[in-house]
Structure 1
Amino acid sequence: MVDGPVLIVGCGVFGLSTALEAVKQGKFVYILDKYEPPSPWSAANDFNKIIRCEYNDEMYAKMAIEALHLWRSDPLFKKSFNECGRILISPMNHKGRLEFERKGIETLRSLNEGLKYEFYKGGLEIGNKFEGFKDNDVPSNQEVKYNPEGGLGLAAQTIKDVYEFLLSHPRVRFVFGESGDVVSVKRYSNGEVGIVTASGYTHSASTVILAMGANSGSVLNLENQQSATGAFVTHIQLTDEEFDIYKNIPVLFDAEIGYFFPPDPLTKIMKLCLTGRGIKRSINDPFNSNTQISLPRYHNDNPTDTIPEEFVDDFRQLLNKYAPTLKNHNLFGSRVCWYGDTEKSHFLIDKVPGFTNLYIATGDSGHGYKFFPNIGKYIIQMVDNKLESDMKENWKWTSRLNDKMVDPAAASWRVTKNTTRDIADINFLKETVPYKL
């Protein structure tokens, strides 16, 4: 039960969303982070993220629909939402992926949503629909799905908007720098938790929520429930003329290669990302030297972590297939985006065993950002022991100490090239023109 002040560790999506919900309920909130939002460690510190409602699990579909309605209507969120829609193209021989999509659309329609879906055959129909894709190289027998509902959120901007709102709120206090840089978790004899920071100061509160995303396992023994996975992101710069052509395209998601977004309206930069080519960073578990876990290696501390040299051709292939006039543009701002994967892509939102007042909220598994407007509500419900039974079951703390490290490539619905590689085995591209986005 939330009783007294709430201490939140982490200023990413889960942390800030929880803070929003807590102040709505009249709570005083203290938030710790090494960096002021948008943190370079947050997976949401990015130009944009996909907002969709297609899930083969009704629980997440309902949550996503609720979130979509808030993206459209909530003044705090709607200004960073672009309902440009999403094109979805998947290998016609990948049964797992096709079944995932079929079930996702079926689930949406059972909830009286997803009623505007359009289905095409081949690239000609895509090109006729969207000028930016008129020169695509999609085979004539390829099934194409287009959902005009959903699209993208301007991710870093959303974080800034929520942060500025909370910063001005009389019941919220932020702590950054060494005093907000959490390095360990202490358990007192009565079961209460102390949050130890790099400054040496230990913070405490009646309710403590750890929301550190992919880095949660660096300070708390998650018992092998989460593994940090890195996705590869890069960018191209469009001219004014190119921006006019591509500014109104939907998000393009090719499950076999990758995806890209309409260009950022302020900078005219287009973001690209590969799918099915994730990496891990295996290190000795801080809580068990006999095992290994994956934890992030962030770009701000390791600026040479860009994209693998051999994946440049994959990005060129993505552009050549859908927007060939852009295929030779210089790639820049390349980096690894880290998120916290769980075994079945469920969130990990529960009370931490052995503590009387410590709760965990993590496991975004690359699909957490879209729930920015409402995930905090469910995190607070968890603390209050008011979660619905399906959420409570799916998000519960379940030790995996005797299992292998979580590998997202094992999911039947993911179109993957191979097992997840280790960062130590990657030859990173040396960018000729380093660029700070």
Structure 2
Amino acid sequence: MASTHQTSTTVLIVGCGTWGSSTALHLARRGYKNVTVLDPYEVPSAISAGNDVNKIVEQGTWRLIMSGCILEANAGRHTIVGHRGEDASVSNRVVLEATAAWQTDPVFKQYYHATGVVIAATQPENVEELYESERATPDNGYKRLESAEDFRKTMPEGVLTGDFPGWKGWAKKDGCGWVHARKALMSAALEAQRLGVKLITGSPHGQVTTLIFEENDVKGAVTADGKEHRAEHTILCAGANAPQLLDMKNQLRPTAWTLAHIKMTDEEVELYKNLPVLFNVERGFFMEPDEDNHELKICDEHPGYCNALPHVDDKSTYVSTPFAKHQIPLTSEQGVREFLRETMPHLAERPFSFARICWCADTPDRGYLITSHPDYPSLTLGVGGSGHGFKVIPTVGGYIADCMEGKLDERMKRTWRWRPETALGRDWTAVQGRMGGSYKVLDFTDVKADGWTAIVSKL
């Protein structure tokens, strides 16, 4: 039963993407009756990385690939390596709790598909790193893949027709799969709304222009229509837009990734159904065609794009400004087609039916920022997904709610603290462990007007 405090307390959540929707859901489940969520886009957000047909959560390396993620459902695996900046015990707990929720929470479990995974690399050092990070041994359910024929046999005949030049990897049938990201995100937001959360989305009514700073605290937010939304607690879950609303002391770098779809025939959709995820850490990845539009999503792998990288002598004021675009740079199109030529050359020249960029926000160590702000007692931060935030959508809102209530686990509190010291002299071009493409962070301002795809989307 909800306490009087939970029933009467007003809470404002800024952002209704992956973490904002999760936080709204968890607060509603705890009995909070006065929760409002603001977002400049209708659900699902046009710029949110969670607005995607599928995601892959990869537990072993604690890495989320922006357009997908491999979710390992082996809850008995207790030796998970934490991401840089994270206490391994924290990573272990977060992964196990998220895994259990994907399998049991009625809001999310219908969107998890246990199809297996094929992981690979081409450079010898990356093959070795992948082996070590995934513990890719037969005891852990992995089968070694040495040749093109080995890779082709992981899927039905006619799917993988490429030569897989230089590819080495492993296949795992059990305990892995993918999740339908957009539907999971919308499920969380709609369930929160059903439980009483007020969603105000779209511009200008949901577009926050500034936080309300009063009496050395944050008292809510102002939207583009001039309305003040005041609350006793404000939770900032604005993702890549957070630096535009709050001085993050250079702890967040808004970074974007790219994806493309190709239309599949009814026969191809049937052939590609229930396929394992195929992921090469240098080339890219794909999952089965989506059930609604019958489109195959392919992502090229690269360290990401920023929007206006700073000059060497001007790092103190840097903000990479997110924007929505249903096109991708031609260099990314080339990356997608290279991946297809190596794996499914029969699809390599098929026209794209859809493409988009999607945004996340990297901390310097790629650990989360789930913390109370040191200067504003009523402000809670839930940001810094760092490319591995979607996999925890079933549970992350609970941690953010714990933080707001002052009862976050002490190890999590220490690991996810406000830590501007990690951003001193930050290298904004650091790849932060990511591979592929040019092996460097790229800049959208370097993409010329005619350097983008020109796809007429029918989605």
Q: Secondary structure at the match of 2:107?
A: helix
Asked if the contact 1:85/1:147 (under 8 Å) is kept, the reply is yes
Q: How much does 1:283 deviate?
A: 7.3
Select 2:250's aligned residue among 224, 228, 243.
Answer: 224
Select 2:400's aligned residue among 360, 366, 379.
Answer: 379
Please state if 1:330 is matched with 2:351.
Answer: yes
Please state if 1:60 is matched with 2:80.
Answer: no
Map 1:34-433 → 2, pairs under 5 A? 34-54=40-60, 55=62, 56-57=81-82, 58=88, 59-95=90-126, 98-99=128-129, 102-105=132-135, 115-131=140-156, 133-139=159-165, 142-146=168-172, 148-169=174-195, 171-177=196-202, 178-282=204-308, 291-299=317-325, 303=326, 306-400=327-421, 402-409=424-431, 411-412=432-433, 414-415=435-436, 417-427=438-448, 429-433=451-455
Asked if the contact 1:151/1:251 (under 8 Å) is kept, the reply is yes
Q: Supply the distance in 2 between the matched residues of 1:334 and 1:195 (Cα, whole angstroms).
A: 33
Bigger shift: residues 175-184 or 114-123: 114-123
Q: Supply the distance in 2 between the matched residues of 1:257 and 1:118 (Cα, whole angstroms).
A: 21
Alpha-carbon RMSD: 2.7
Q: How much does 1:313 deviate?
A: 2.7
Could you give the per-residue CA deviations for residues 105-148 of structure 1, whole angstroms, max 9, x where no partner exists? Answer: 38xx9xxxx94333332222222231154423125872324353
Q: Supply the distance in 1 between the matched residues of 2:167 and 2:347 (Cα, whole angstroms).
A: 25
Q: Supply the distance in 2 between the matched residues of 1:380 and 1:198 (Cα, whole angstroms).
A: 27
Q: 1:185 to 1:418 in 2, by over 3 A?
A: same
Residue type matched to 2:174 in 1? P
Q: How much does 1:94 deviate?
A: 2.6
Residue type matched to 2:58 in 1? R
Asked if the contact 1:263/1:271 (under 8 Å) is kept, the reply is yes
Bigger shift: residues 114-123 or 347-356: 114-123
* Residue identity (%): 29
Asked if the contact 2:22/2:396 (under 8 Å) is kept, the reply is yes
TM-score computed with the length of structure 1 as normaliser: 0.88
Residue type matched to 2:178 in 1? L
Q: Supply the distance in 1 between the matched residues of 2:397 and 2:143 (Cα, whole angstroms).
A: 33
Q: How many residues align?
A: 421
Bigger shift: residues 276-285 or 70-79: 276-285
Asked if the contact 2:211/2:218 (under 8 Å) is kept, the reply is no
Q: 1:367 to 1:208 in 2, by over 3 A?
A: same
Bigger shift: residues 412-421 or 68-77: 412-421
Report what 1:20 is aligned to.
25
Q: Secondary structure at the match of 2:319?
A: strand
Q: 1:436 to 1:209 in 2, by over 3 A?
A: farther
Could you give the per-residue CA deviations for residues 310-348 of structure 1, whole angstroms, max 9, x where no partner exists? Answer: 333321111121112111110232221111111111111
Residue type matched to 2:53 in 1? F
Q: Supply the distance in 1 between the matched residues of 2:167 and 2:214 (Cα, whole angstroms).
A: 63
Residue type matched to 2:115 in 1? C
Q: How much does 1:31 deviate?
A: 1.1
Report what 2:76 is aligned to.
none
Asked if the contact 1:281/1:295 (under 8 Å) is kept, the reply is yes
Residue type matched to 2:387 in 1? G
TM-score computed with the length of structure 2 as normaliser: 0.84
Residue type matched to 1:297 in 2? F
